């Protein structure tokens, strides 16, 4: 109740500032290299920053070129491409939980990549491109094997140019896990990497999402589509999953025990969360990597974020006090989502100077 009341108060404060903010719309806004992130005064709090940005900030639509990679195990992976000028770098994005190339952050980044003349691609995890995958297995937060497959495929399409990788939320954890496992070998594929709002400690994130306001707002929304996919798998592969228990689940702990752990070889949710968290592997990352986590991210307690002594020299931590989860809104009302793609491209461009 306290969390909901605080959110309502923040919403009232945001509304109270709209009149003044609207007056600022007519003023020209210079877009330069992004300064260290600070949320606009009219949009306070991690929940409001997260929800408002994902639902109300407009980003361009994108026309992608779809490519399907058939896998040796009988499954497939879909890639949505933005084609740039010959010889220009390629930016590959790994989306978050139940995300896709249509997610606002994917469209926003790919729009910026295209405007630069670079190549961009959103690599979809299995079952996230608008069509269920064929196998019982799905995707999960530690799927570094599929990260490797997708990076090798992208590199094969652009073998002579720099490849920059971005992972968002779940995709960020999977990418960081791959980077830590690969160590120096990662540089054979990736020149620089970035992770945005990654749940580096999945146990901390899982219990945070299963509590209070988070459980009724964020977790309930994710479970709507996750449970629907799992129930289709249960119907397609009889005896594999407990459909009745899945339908009744209301937490990530229940769902990950019933589905994610069962499909991918873990004992239960706790075993899964512990074994795939990327935080312990950050000391082994050798490729220059930017890790951005807002300290008011409702999905990830700031107490679980790593400090400089917990990461390799190649890892650059940015932990602004505000920003929410994959949000980082900026500018006068109604706001924009410019800061994040600008920061990412600035970081990637540094390798070309």
Active site residues per annotation: 169, 297, 325
> In this structure, are strands 76-82 and 119-123 parallel, antiparallel, or unpaired?
antiparallel
Q: What is the CA radius of gyration of the chain?
A: 20
Ramachandran angles phi, psi of 87, nearest 5°: 80, 0
What 227-235 contacts at long range (C-beta under 8 Å, 24+ apart), as own/partner pairs, is: 227/255, 229/127, 229/132, 229/138, 230/138, 230/255, 230/258, 230/259, 232/132, 233/132, 233/136, 233/138, 233/263
Sheet of strand 76-82, all strands in order from the earlier edge strand to the far edge: 65-70, 76-82, 119-123, 90-94, 163-168, 192-196, 289-292, 315-318
**For residue 316, what are the β-bridge partners?**
290
- Among left, alpha and beta (phi > 0; psi -120 to 50; other), residue 47 is alpha
């Amino acid at each position: 109740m306290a969390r909901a009341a605080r959110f309502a108060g923040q919403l009232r404060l945001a509304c109270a500032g709209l009149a003044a903010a609207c007056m600022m719309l007519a003023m020209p806004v210079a877009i330069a290299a992004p300064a260290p992130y600070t949320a606009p005064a009219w949009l306070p709090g991690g929940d409001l920053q997260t929800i408002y940005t994902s639902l109300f900030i407009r980003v361009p639509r994108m026309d992608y070129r779809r490519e399907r990679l058939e896998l040796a195990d009988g499954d497939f992976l879909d890639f949505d491409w933005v084609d740039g000028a010959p010889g220009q770098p390629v930016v590959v994005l790994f989306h978050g939980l139940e995300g896709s190339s249509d997610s606002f952050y994917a469209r926003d980044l790919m729009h910026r990549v295209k405007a630069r003349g670079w190549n961009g691609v959103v690599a979809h995890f299995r079952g996230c491109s608008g069509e269920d995958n064929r196998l019982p297995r799905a995707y999960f937060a530690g799927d570094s094997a599929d990260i490797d497959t997708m990076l090798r495929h992208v590199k094969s399409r652009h073998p002579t140019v720099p490849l920059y990788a971005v992972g968002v939320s779940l995709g960020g954890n999977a990418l960081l896990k791959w980077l830590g496992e690969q160590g120096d070998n990662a540089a054979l594929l990736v020149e620089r990497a970035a992770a945005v709002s990654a749940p580096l400690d999945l146990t901390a994130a899982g219990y945070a999402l299963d509590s209070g306001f988070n459980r009724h707002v964020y977790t309930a929304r994710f479970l709507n589509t996750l449970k629907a996919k799992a129930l289709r798998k249960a119907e397609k592969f009889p005896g594999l999953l407990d459909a009745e228990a899945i339908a009744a689940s209301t937490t990530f702990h229940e769902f990950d025990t019933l589905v994610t752990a069962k499909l991918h070889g873990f004992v239960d949710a706790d075993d899964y969360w512990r074994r795939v968290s990327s935080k312990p592997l950050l000391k082994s990352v050798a490729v220059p990597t930017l890790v951005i986590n807002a300290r008011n991210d409702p999905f990830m307690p700031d107490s679980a974020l790593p400090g400089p002594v917990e990461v390799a020299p190649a890892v650059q931590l940015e932990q602004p006090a505000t920003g929410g989860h994959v949000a980082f809104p900026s500018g006068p009302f109604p706001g924009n989502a410019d800061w994040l793609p600008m920061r990412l491209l600035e970081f990637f461009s540094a390798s070309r100077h």
